[in-house]
Structure 1
Amino acid sequence: MFDFVRQHKKIMQFLLVLLIFPSFVLFGIDGYNRFRDTGAAVAVIDGVEITQSQWDAAHRSEADRTRNSMPNIDLKMLDSDAFKYSVLDRMVRDRILQAAVENAKLTASDSKLAQELQQNPTIAALRKTDGSLDVERYKQLLAAQSMSPEMFEASIRSDLSVRQVMVGVSASAFAKPVWANIAIDTWLQQREVQVVQFLASDYRMQIKPTTEQIQAFYDKNNQRFQSTEKADIEYVVLDLAQVEKTITLNEADLKTYYQQNQERLSAKEERRASHILINALQSASQADRQKAKSLADQLLQEVRKAPQNFAEVAKKHSQDPGSAPKGGDLDFFARGAMVKPFDEAAFALAKGDVSDVVESDFGYHIIKLTDIKSPKLPSFEEMRPKIEAEVRKQQAQRKFAEVAEQFTNTVYEQSDSLQPLVEKLKLQIQKSSGLTRIADTSLKNILSNSKLLNAIFSADSLDKKRNTEAVETAPNQLVSARVTKYYPAKTLALDEVKPLVTETLVKDQSAELAKKEGVQKLDSWKKGEPAQKLSAAVNLSRNKPSNLPPQLLDAVYRAPAETLPAWVGADLGAQGYAIARINQVSAATEKTDKKAMHERLQQLISAAESLSYYNFLKEKFKVQIRVPSPLSPTKAS
């Protein structure tokens, strides 16, 4: 356990940061965008607007946060319309709840704030041995998130006030035991069924479309046989790597950087230690902790008498499974790699010394320092390649902002060509043919960026033949493009798509035949005619649907169970049709944790009540979202 924490320190730090800063991911600095009206409102809540620039800034901030916490994430997902809209949705929700707080004049008292801070495990970890808060470490932790204690505490107070809005509703919702039992029993109810499917594929051989039928089908459905809208484009890319190539390094700057960063550039002192751990978690009882402490004291006396036997004692008694087989050896580690009490004790020892019993969140340690690796400062020449790379990158990042503004201004001010941009910034024009509006998610390149594609296929670009805006396709990367030739979508001639038309017609008619026969059989079997080709009887429940098509499962459980057997049918769309005979209905026989199901049902009811109240607040504060959701592109709320 102790080895795991040391080896995964960065992961643990990240998880701790998440505990403190879950709600501060939607704020950023407004970007520079000359093409759109950045002051235009994309949403209005209680008369307060969320502007395009605020949304863009929040999207960038959330994308950066996600990218930093999940380095391997697909960048296309962060640039997708769905991800961007989810950011706006959270911004709207935050504003609605804030409006509710102000409307109800809710506040969080000082005592509530203090209680919240005391319960935060990360804040608790900053306490000194006397129980007081280490104010300097507290300030440093917040400064790393660009926050002051005042800002952080105001945010926590605001969060507490917002929680009051929804907690009252969710806490008041409850499932009465009788009602809950009925709902759970219904969910687990078993129905014995026999099934027959009329698959469209079984009817294909019956379909022999004539030339006239194919023509008629094409004429009626020609909108299904259109070419894809395409464009030939040229585009220019500005990124940090290109700016780096323009940087000329100064020898004096490199030496100054070396002098200013010697502590960081030099290797840190590392220490090697072995330890004996007696487990005693903070959650353990006082009696168990005292028992563990007594054992640690006894072992300390044993190794003090014979320090040369430390490894044998560790192998025999240490409860750290990672290091005990190695005689307690933890190998070399730098300052800060271990939990604070262990770290402080290890770096206070002289080589060969054994510590007193050290208490940590894991229990009680006895530490023996076995080696010290002193830091060494590499020479300037040894570090030159690294220094040059770091200085070049720093200077390029500073210069990039300046060049990016020139890039953005030029594509706007001279919007009829990319050539002025090329000449001004010494960039290259690239070309692409047959580009489509829909992003190809299998590609990981600039031209699969949905934001850029939207700009390329905008009316301003297609109709007015202008450069697109400067689109940020990745951090420190801007792209502008222009359409050189446009190929609008058009209905393809029958001769071009005849095989496709024929196949589509065959599939449609096969499904229709399957449905027709299925409906006829259902009607006749309901009237008592002998049923044929029914499957063996199977027992199913909503919890265990036994691979039934969802449409049929829904029909089975919608059917009244008063008169059995009962017959139901379901249209499976292009797959055909299915019929089920319900033979019997019985109570659940499977073993289930009803207490857990009650708790889950309670959660669902609370969530439903909260959603209902949230929708009420949306109406009360006259919420308008003026951009369409990607899930319903023709509608904005």
Structure 2
Amino acid sequence: MLQFIRERAQSWIAWVIVTLLIIPFALWGINQYFDGGKEIAAARVNDAEISPQRLQQAFYQQQQRLREMLGANYRPEMFPEEQMRQQVLDGLIEQELLVQTASGSGMRIGDTLLAATIHAVPAFQQDGKFSQQVYEGALRNRGMVPAGFEADLRRDMLTQQLYAGIVRSDFATPVERRAMQQLLGQQRDIGFLLLPLADFVAKAQVSKDEIQAYYDAQGALFMQPEQVSIAYIELSAEQIAKGIKVGDDELRARYESQQANYSTPEERHARHILVRVEPGADAAVDAAARAEAEQLLKQIRGGAAFADVARKSSQDPGSAAEGGDLGFFGRGVMDKAFEDAAYALKAGEVSEPVRSAFGYHLIRLEAVRGGSSKTFAEVREQILAEIRNERAEQQFYDQAERLAALTYEHPDTLEEASRELGLPIVQSEPVTRRGGTGLLANPKLIGAAFSEDVLARNNNSEAIDVGRNQLVVLRVTQHQPEMRRPLEAVREDIVSRIRRDKAAAAAREAATALQQQLQQGGDPALVAKGARAKWQRVDGVLREGAKLDAAILRSVFAMPRPQDGKTVWEQTVVANGDIAVVGLYAVRDGEVVEGEAGAAGDLERAAGEAAFAAALNGIRAGAKVTRPGKQQ
């Protein structure tokens, strides 16, 4: 449709089509037209589709999580793009299968639970309370909108509901519990030596032929990803609002006409005594209740403390024990007759008996708060922002329609829209499909920049909704296809890689020779000394809390029990590439304590996880999953 308009933008039919588009813009909102055309699904799961946009959004979110987790240590080359994209797609397919299964089982996430979950997130709160503005801002910073986030969260909560239902359904037998305690409390006596990889790296030599051969064989490691430079114009209500001028007369008129909006509602703190009258009671019962209330009022006016009389005689189970204390309340909370009486009292006064739907009340007013109005000076900036935002929003929708029309009519330039609407054209640095920073971290913009219509046909993008009342139209100004970086640019990296590979091989060879000496009965301390290493003996190693490298610890508890007093020897690679030669001397099982819940809980969780994995495999086996479009 849009290509058809562009090709005929100067003909009468273009104006007819644009007019037909503008009418539903006005009636239904412009956002429905900014989501792009139909694209090949990234995957189909039974009858549901996973769109390329959804995959891109999830991919972007995964990148963000990795950046936050690793901080300054994050490097894009650590996570090959295609591999990570496929992993993300696998996760979306799994989630869709779980959502379909949960929905088919009648599970639902209601609006109330969804809202409560969102409101409880600290990142969406201000001064300890949920803030809609903070919420929308936090999502906008991640290139998300509330509707999309809430839909994703609802799906996540639904899958968690299914997960919990399966995982928590398993249990452990007494025999399994005892075995688990023995394993969890198991202690192992070990010794080990470390061969530093750095010692072998320093000795590794690399020739020119090896560098060239590595470059030729491992070319994929040195590819510079496809890049585009982007020019874009941004239309936002926030920017429009900054240019709107409002006079003091208008501000004061708004203040006077809406003064209630700038006042603190009055609240009253009261105590009460209730003499209950059941619904439908006859006149005699009603009269008796009133007489009882009047008798209690007489006691209070005779000097009895209101709170003491309430504790003894009030028939309100919710407040009697608190001396009838109801705390602070505003209008519209209490029974109308009760409210009117409470608001007619002054602090310290006690009412006559007041008839409500529940019976007769005696009310004592303890305190009054609120009810004051802010001065014009106090709320001037607030009123200014309100009026600016109202006008900016209307201007935004008017200009958005014009922006859409101008960029359709002039598909090969942003100049016309920029000149007529007064919006600057911003030129970006080159970005890859992984996105950039600021606005260019938004997956919608990156998806548009690399779309066929924008990249291959060199057209303007459609207006892209990137936040509340915020649109962007972009075009590609320069395209750099994926290419292998020159050898000279990556030479040092290749030398480093080859040296490390050679060093790792030499270290393994040395470790194997040392392991053979130890297996033949060599003294560990002497063997370590001969290798310029240090032998370290550690007894009573536990699975949890041991101050050992994680790789050594895993290796220790994977080694078989020593037989006939013979030490078991193995080698393992630790996190920094050093190689450890490890000896296991003895194994002692943990103590069994009958009735101990911890081991049972661990075992039941493990059994539950296994049950969930089996259920997921069954769901996968019965599903029809296809991947029509491979994402680049």
Asked if TM exceeds 0.5, the reply is: yes
For the pair 1:192 / 2:189, whether they are aligned, the reply is yes
Q: Secondary structure at the match of 2:536?
A: coil
How many angstroms apart in 1 are the aligned matches of 2:303 and 2:448? Answer: 74
Tell me the amino acid that sits aligned with residue 575 of structure 1. G
- How far is the alpha carbon of 1:335 from its aligned partner? 3.8
How many angstroms apart in 2 are the aligned matches of 1:83 and 1:351? Answer: 64
In structure 2, the residue matched to 1:528 is: 521
Distance 1:174 1:347, change over 3 A: farther
Q: Secondary structure at the match of 1:267?
A: coil
- How far is the alpha carbon of 1:575 from its aligned partner? 0.9
Q: Secondary structure at the match of 2:600?
A: helix
Distance 1:230 1:584, change over 3 A: same
Structure 1 unmatched runs, 5+: 1-28, 63-79, 108-112, 123-160, 276-296, 308-331, 357-365
- How far is the alpha carbon of 1:351 from its aligned partner? 1.6
- How far is the alpha carbon of 1:376 from its aligned partner? 3.2
In structure 2, the residue matched to 1:240 is: 237
How many angstroms apart in 1 are the aligned matches of 2:92 and 2:364? Answer: 49
For the pair 1:392 / 2:388, whether they are aligned, the reply is yes
How many angstroms apart in 1 are the aligned matches of 2:42 and 2:302? Answer: 70
Residue pair 1:410, 1:420 contacting (<8 A) in 2 also: yes
Give the superposed CA RMSD: 5.4
Among 338, 347, 350, which residue is 1:351 paired with? Answer: 347
User: Which range moved further: 236-245 or 222-231?
Assistant: 222-231
TM-score of the aligned structures, taking structure 1 as reference length: 0.59
Q: Secondary structure at the match of 1:536?
A: strand
Residue pair 1:45, 1:95 contacting (<8 A) in 2 also: no
For the pair 1:97 / 2:102, whether they are aligned, the reply is yes
User: Which range moved further: 490-499 or 190-199?
Assistant: 490-499
How many angstroms apart in 1 are the aligned matches of 2:160 and 2:480? Answer: 53
Among 596, 602, 605, which residue is 2:604 paired with? Answer: 602
- How far is the alpha carbon of 1:337 from its aligned partner? 14
Q: Deviations over 1:79-112 (max 9, x none)?
A: x9999998886565333322344xxxx99xxxxx
Distance 1:90 1:526, change over 3 A: same
In structure 2, the residue matched to 1:292 is: none
Q: Secondary structure at the match of 1:585?
A: strand
In structure 2, the residue matched to 1:477 is: 470
Distance 1:167 1:548, change over 3 A: closer
Among 395, 418, 422, which residue is 1:422 paired with? Answer: 418
How many angstroms apart in 2 are the aligned matches of 1:505 and 1:439? Answer: 31
Map 1:501-516 → 2, pairs under 5 A: 501-516=494-509
Tell me the amino acid that sits aligned with residue 494 of structure 2. V
How many angstroms apart in 2 are the aligned matches of 1:163 and 1:457? Answer: 35
Structure 2 unmatched runs, 5+: 1-28, 62-83, 117-157, 273-295, 307-326, 353-362, 529-534
Residue pair 2:31, 2:465 contacting (<8 A) in 1 also: no
Distance 1:479 1:271, change over 3 A: same
Identity %: 23
- How far is the alpha carbon of 1:584 from its aligned partner? 0.4
- How far is the alpha carbon of 1:204 from its aligned partner? 2.7
How many angstroms apart in 1 are the aligned matches of 2:455 and 2:101? Answer: 38
How many angstroms apart in 2 are the aligned matches of 1:303 and 1:580? Answer: 89
- How far is the alpha carbon of 1:481 from its aligned partner? 2.2
Residue pair 1:456, 1:468 contacting (<8 A) in 2 also: yes
Among 427, 449, 453, which residue is 2:442 paired with? Answer: 449
How many angstroms apart in 2 are the aligned matches of 1:92 and 1:339? Answer: 49
Q: How many residues align?
A: 471
Q: Deviations over 1:105-137 (max 9, x none)?
A: x99xxxxx9xxx9x9xx9xxxxxxxxxxxxxxx
Map 1:4-403 → 2, pairs under 5 A: 31-33=31-33, 36-38=36-38, 44=44, 46-47=46-47, 49-50=48-49, 52=51, 93-101=98-106, 173-227=170-224, 229-244=226-241, 258=255, 261-269=258-266, 335=330, 350-353=346-349, 369-370=366-367, 372=369, 374-376=371-373, 378=375, 385-403=381-399
How many angstroms apart in 1 are the aligned matches of 2:613 and 2:585? Answer: 39
Residue pair 2:180, 2:600 contacting (<8 A) in 1 also: no
How many angstroms apart in 2 are the aligned matches of 1:95 and 1:43? Answer: 15
Q: Deviations over 1:424-465 (max 9, x none)?
A: 43311011233344345xx5x212334323432445443332
How many angstroms apart in 1 are the aligned matches of 2:508 and 2:628? Answer: 42
Residue pair 1:461, 1:467 contacting (<8 A) in 2 also: yes
How many angstroms apart in 1 are the aligned matches of 2:375 and 2:186? Answer: 74
Tell me the amino acid that sits aligned with residue 542 of structure 1. R
Q: Secondary structure at the match of 2:430?
A: strand
How many angstroms apart in 2 are the aligned matches of 1:39 and 1:436? Answer: 21
Q: Secondary structure at the match of 1:433?
A: coil
Distance 1:425 1:188, change over 3 A: farther
In structure 2, the residue matched to 1:557 is: 557
TM-score of the aligned structures, taking structure 2 as reference length: 0.59
Q: Secondary structure at the match of 2:473?
A: strand
How many angstroms apart in 2 are the aligned matches of 1:355 and 1:608? Answer: 67
User: Which range moved further: 30-39 or 382-391?
Assistant: 30-39
How many angstroms apart in 2 are the aligned matches of 1:427 and 1:479? Answer: 11
User: Which range moved further: 83-92 or 498-507?
Assistant: 83-92
Tell me the amino acid that sits aligned with residue 37 of structure 2. D
In structure 1, the residue matched to 2:427 is: 431
In structure 2, the residue matched to 1:126 is: none
Residue pair 1:511, 1:574 contacting (<8 A) in 2 also: no
Residue pair 1:273, 1:371 contacting (<8 A) in 2 also: no
How many angstroms apart in 2 are the aligned matches of 1:54 and 1:496? Answer: 35
In structure 2, the residue matched to 1:156 is: none
How many angstroms apart in 1 are the aligned matches of 2:198 and 2:595? Answer: 42
How many angstroms apart in 2 are the aligned matches of 1:30 and 1:46? Answer: 32
Q: Secondary structure at the match of 2:557?
A: helix
Residue pair 1:270, 1:375 contacting (<8 A) in 2 also: no
Q: Deviations over 1:272-296 (max 9, x none)?
A: 8999xxxxxxxxxxxxxxxxxxxxx
Distance 1:167 1:465, change over 3 A: closer
Residue pair 1:198, 1:514 contacting (<8 A) in 2 also: yes
Residue pair 2:231, 2:428 contacting (<8 A) in 1 also: yes
- How far is the alpha carbon of 1:595 from its aligned partner? 0.3
Q: Deviations over 1:183-222 (max 9, x none)?
A: 3422332211111122211223312434444444444444
Residue pair 2:211, 2:495 contacting (<8 A) in 1 also: yes
How many angstroms apart in 1 are the aligned matches of 2:34 and 2:372? Answer: 52
Tell me the amino acid that sits aligned with residue 492 of structure 1. R
Report which structure shows greater RCO (CA 8 Å, sep ≥6).
2
How many angstroms apart in 2 are the aligned matches of 1:427 and 1:178? Answer: 74
How many angstroms apart in 2 are the aligned matches of 1:497 and 1:376? Answer: 69
- How far is the alpha carbon of 1:265 from its aligned partner? 2.2
